[in-house]
């Protein structure tokens, strides 16, 4: 489905939530909400997202923290594929020191999916380009800031389970409609 349509749907969901009291919840990458869970201990605060979704209950989730990784932590990238390949066991997630952290990423993805199901989330808003949360683009495993099309491990698992995933860039692409 076209992502703009998804976003328009979200706006309608927001209205439904307001007018009818329909139970709606959106799972969001915790770092986008200003929580300091990024690898370097900072965040990816996007105030316009909160403004847009202010009437909707948000469920902040950090898959890498849920997977047992510390804050701060060594940056990680997917080597040899993308998130779906990690799930299938044909690619790995490694940190910049060369340590295999695939198990942490898979655990974080499974726990995020469990939370999404438990809270019956209506949609998921994830931080693009992350090896966990990226939904359109991720880094290519070279640790040289090279992007490639693909999804991170959590985004891939959520998509594979039929959950609508979009990212902060989708908001920008709507021409500021939600800014």
Using CA atoms, how far apart are residues 167 and 135, in angstroms rounded to an integer? 7
C-beta of 12 vs 96, nearer to ligand SF4: 96
Using CA atoms, how far apart are residues 80 and 74, in angstroms rounded to an integer? 19
Residues 30-49 that bind ligand SF4 (CB under 6 A): 30-31, 37-38
- The pattern of x and - marking residues 110 through 129 that bind ligand SF4 according to CB under 6 A reads -----------------x--
Q: Would you say 165 and 124 are in contact if contact means Cβ atoms under 8 Å apart?
A: yes
C-beta of 17 vs 29, nearer to ligand SF4: 29
CB 130 → ligand SF4: shortest distance, Å? 4
Using CA atoms, how far apart are residues 18 and 33, in angstroms rounded to an integer? 21
* Tokens linked to 19: 């007018």
Residue numbers at the binding site for ligand SF4 (CB under 6 A): 29-31, 37-38, 62-64, 127, 130, 132-133
């Amino acid at each position: 489905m076209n992502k703009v349509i998804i976003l328009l749907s979200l706006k309608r969901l927001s209205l439904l939530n307001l007018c009818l009291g329909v139970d709606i919840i959106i799972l969001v990458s915790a770092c986008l909400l200003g929580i300091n869970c990024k690898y370097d201990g900072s965040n990816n605060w996007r105030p316009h997202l909160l403004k847009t979704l202010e009437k909707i209950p948000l469920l902040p989730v950090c898959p890498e923290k849920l997977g047992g990784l510390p804050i701060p932590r060594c940056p990680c990238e997917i080597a040899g594929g993308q998130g779906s390949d990690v799930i299938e066991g044909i690619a790995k997630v490694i940190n910049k020191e060369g340590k295999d952290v695939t198990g942490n990423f898979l655990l974080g993805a499974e726990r995020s999916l469990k939370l999404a199901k438990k809270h019956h989330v209506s949609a998921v808003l994830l931080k693009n380009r992350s090896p966990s949360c990226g939904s359109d683009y991720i880094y290519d495993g070279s640790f040289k800031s090279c992007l490639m099309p693909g999804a991170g491990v959590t985004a891939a698992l959520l998509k594979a389970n039929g959950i609508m995933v979009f990212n902060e860039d989708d908001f920008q692409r709507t021409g500021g409609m939600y800014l």
